[in-house]
Structure 1
Amino acid sequence: MSRVPVLRHGRYVIEIRELTKRYGPAVAVDGLTFDVAPGRVTGFLGPNGAGKSTTMRMLLGLDHPSGGRALLGGRPYRELREPLRIVGALLEARSTHGGRTAYHHLLWLAATNRIPRRRVDEVLGLVGLESAAGKRAGTFSLGMSQRLGIAAALLGDPEIVLLDEPVNGLDPEGVRWIRTLMKDLAAEGRTVLVSSHLMSEMAITADHLIVIGQGRLLADTTVDEFVAASRRGHVRVSTPEADRLAALLDGRAVTVRRVDGALEITGMEAGAVGAVAGANGIALDELSTRSSSLEDAFLELTAGSTEYSSRPQAEEVR
């Protein structure tokens, strides 16, 4: 894929300032303020109904804010003369006209922004759809539709890339490909904002996180700082005298839960737990430290912001 010099990139910041969207009495986005900087992959996370898609739609001028502003390189989307050269977006993979071929879908988009015809071939090659260029988009699988949507997002060689759940429908090779692509785009100095429910992917792809819940900002930080702030790291202990060990820890500033026949202890280091067990003659079959994951940290932070939640399988030892 042909690229402009790297030095051209890095000028475009996404700016969200007191952004609000109401639908009657319901508030979908509530006074959001954050920036998305170039040169890194920023993960946009939140439970279902948190307002992520609504925020992205307002960035792209598809929804009108009830208040505040959403700017791309200092300007609202509707003021961009050739928007595909500034921002490329994938919001809905199956939004293409089903009767058009992949090639003619991209060619039609290119014509709206004075993008050369050769660029259509370039992005089809980039996403691996050369052999499907003449096929109608309506016959595509979800994974192929995702690739076509990403091709459309990259058509104008944009400074800003917005991707909403880009790995949906992709096979493992496709997931690795989009992960590498996002990192490469950010390394070139572009501004990359991606929303996803796959915490394992965000943990290895994103550099920075914007986390929202019920339309409000919950976190704006690096992935490492976000995970380090979680309290879900714990010590796992397996012992035939679990009840006695739990009783000995009762009254200390710890939480003890029984999970899959073992104890999970939060608030005490493994060495201290081992010392208590050793001083009281309790044999341990396992004593290990489990660090928090991005998923742990996310679930902890958004626990009060989910639309639906299931009962936990762990039981707290009293």
Structure 2
Amino acid sequence: MIEVRDLSKKYGTTTAVDRLSFTVRPGQVTGFLGPNGAGKSTTMRMMLDLDRPTTGHVLIDGERYRRLSDPLRRVGALLEARAVHGGRSVYDTLRWPARSNRIPEARVREVLELVGLAGVAHQRAKGLSLGMAQRLGIAAALLGDPPVLLFDEPVNGLDPEGILWIRNLMKDLAAEGRTVFVSSHLMSEMALTAEHLIVIGRGRLLADTTVAAFIEANSRSCVLIRTPEPDRMRAALAGVGVRVERAADGALEAYGTRAAAVGELAAAQGLTVHEVSTRQASLEEAFMRLTGEAAEHRAGGAR
């Protein structure tokens, strides 16, 4: 478990992280979301004592990271895949930290096989593609078989097969009871991977909730209706206090009601309908709705 308590980080007059408090629990994948400049990377660096907090602290299973003995056995992290000694072989990149943390050398071969790099074990790390470097970084995070794992943008550079692999890997790790904390800009991927979300903006906590609850709270879900009698349907819905809008393709969007209620109303009024379905917003739509004002940089409209 990761406990973040009243965490702040200032660089001069700039506040990168502002009194953050949240808990990352084991047994589920927790997504860490926020616009560029929100403070995600700084927060993760403070979790690993790579940056010193201005205020507050982070506990990993009840201890500060710097006080952990054999830290790779307790916490695995991927923050920057390219931050390796390029002159070392892929194998030696893992062998040296394994030795310093009393991890059997057999584990090096095991994780290289797991991430698909066994065939390039003796190649220099500087010759790896971005996708292969990501796999090496993931192997390093898994090296000590730790109960707590932090991944910052783990799918960068991976092909579709690799993305599916890391998605399933993170789910499997969480299912084993581990704490899995993942930062990503890919909303579609987080929607498929995470069960819980921590969302920040301008260094402050915006949401700490399940994916489903986040989407429901920050979206405009509606009932989509396709009918050859749109005017009669609109009037019938308005008669029971339901707000209706016309979609770009001509369908009706009813807000504040349920698909079953619309179907029952159509039957009672003798209305013909071709489709009545619930339209749920995507995680990306909900994220943009919540964090729009917290974005550090925003593109202007076309002129």
> Normalising to structure 2: TM-score of the pair?
0.87
Normalized per residue, the structure richer in helix is 2
Matching residue of 1:9: none
Matching residue of 1:129: 117
Matching residue of 1:4: none
For the Cα contact (< 8 Å) 1:88–1:155, is it kept in 2? yes
Larger CA deviation: 197-206 vs 258-267: 258-267
Matching residue of 1:231: 219
Structure 1: segments with no counterpart, 5+ residues: 1-12, 314-318
TM-superposed CA distance for 1:96, in Å, is 1.1
| Structure 1 residues 258-310: Cα deviation after superposition (integer angstroms, max 9, x where no partner) | 43555544334457778999999998775543122222322222222122345
TM-superposed CA distance for 1:72, in Å, is 1.1
TM-superposed CA distance for 1:253, in Å, is 6.8
1:308 equivalent to 2:280? Answer no
Q: How many residues align structurally? A: 301
1:181-220 matches, within 5 Å, as: 181-220=169-208
Once residues 189 and 227 of structure 2 are traced to their aligned partners in structure 1, the CA distance between those partners, rounded to angstroms, is 34
Matching residue of 2:144: 156
1:296 equivalent to 2:285? Answer yes
For the Cα contact (< 8 Å) 1:255–1:267, is it kept in 2? no
Matching residue of 1:86: 74
For the Cα contact (< 8 Å) 1:43–1:194, is it kept in 2? yes
Which letter maps to 2:78? L
Once residues 275 and 180 of structure 1 are traced to their aligned partners in structure 2, the CA distance between those partners, rounded to angstroms, is 41
TM-superposed CA distance for 1:228, in Å, is 3.0
Which letter maps to 2:134? Q
Matching residue of 1:75: 63
After superposition, the Cα gap between the structure-2 partners of 1:264 and 1:61, relative to the gap in structure 1 and judged at 3 Å, is same
For the Cα contact (< 8 Å) 2:242–2:254, is it kept in 1? no
Once residues 31 and 271 of structure 2 are traced to their aligned partners in structure 1, the CA distance between those partners, rounded to angstroms, is 45
After superposition, the Cα gap between the structure-2 partners of 1:272 and 1:303, relative to the gap in structure 1 and judged at 3 Å, is farther
Structure 2: segments with no counterpart, 5+ residues: none
After superposition, the Cα gap between the structure-2 partners of 1:242 and 1:305, relative to the gap in structure 1 and judged at 3 Å, is farther
For the Cα contact (< 8 Å) 2:84–2:125, is it kept in 1? yes
1:1-318 matches, within 5 Å, as: 13-237=1-225, 254=243, 256=245, 258-260=247-249, 262-269=251-258, 287-309=276-298
Q: % of aligned pairs identical?
A: 62
TM-superposed CA distance for 1:173, in Å, is 1.5
> Normalising to structure 1: TM-score of the pair?
0.83
| Structure 1 residues 224-251: Cα deviation after superposition (integer angstroms, max 9, x where no partner) | 2223334321233557887998799899
TM-superposed CA distance for 1:143, in Å, is 0.8
Where 1:109 maps in the other structure, the secondary structure is helix
For the Cα contact (< 8 Å) 1:232–1:300, is it kept in 2? no
Which letter maps to 1:199? M
Once residues 168 and 270 of structure 2 are traced to their aligned partners in structure 1, the CA distance between those partners, rounded to angstroms, is 52
After superposition, the Cα gap between the structure-2 partners of 1:275 and 1:121, relative to the gap in structure 1 and judged at 3 Å, is closer
For the Cα contact (< 8 Å) 1:160–1:192, is it kept in 2? yes
Once residues 299 and 222 of structure 2 are traced to their aligned partners in structure 1, the CA distance between those partners, rounded to angstroms, is 22
Where 2:293 maps in the other structure, the secondary structure is coil
For the Cα contact (< 8 Å) 2:17–2:39, is it kept in 1? yes
RMSD: 3.0
TM-superposed CA distance for 1:80, in Å, is 1.5
